[in-house]
Amino acid sequence: MTETTIAGFAREAGVGVETVRYYQRRGLLPTPRKSGGIRRYGEEDVRRLRFIRMAQGAGFTLEEIGELLALHATNDRRSVRALASERIAALDARIAQMKAARDVLTRLARQCAAGTRGPCPILAAFE
């Protein structure tokens, strides 16, 4: 890939232009200097943006991604592992919450299907 405009950069990385600008405001992506009045993005920018998107997909927050990007240059595996362990614990907690919510909703759906009178147990549970 040769250098490209923000629109081409965003398209190459599979995001919108506003996403690129948002990441720049957050300090996750550098804002390149203008060349001929236009900012140009290169392959390293695409790699960094893909890194951000993949880390988001793994459940990291933007703040944590900033930490990961800073650690990337240091090769500090212990700190990266610690961040990953924290994220795993948070995901495990979220999974447990979602499973509990699913179990409750499954029970309520069965109760709703079993009865024909009175308010639906699902709706009553949300009051």
The range of the structural domain enclosing residue 125 comes to: 84-127
Q: What is the pTM of this model?
A: 0.78
Tens-digit pLDDT profile for residues 51-106? 999 999 999 999 999 999 999 989 899 999 999 999 999 999 999 999 999 999 99
Instruction: Say if residue 56 is in the same domain as residue 94.
Output: no
CATH number for the domain harbouring residue 17: 1.10.1660.10
Least Cα distance to 69 among 26, 110, 98 occurs for 26
State the amino acid at position 67 in one-letter form: E
Instruction: Say if residue 50 is in the same domain as residue 105.
Output: no
Instruction: Say if residue 66 is in the same domain as residue 89.
Output: no
**b vs e for 92-118, b when ≥16 Cβ sit within 10 Å of the residue's Cβ?**
eeeeeeeeeeeeeeeebeeebeeeeee
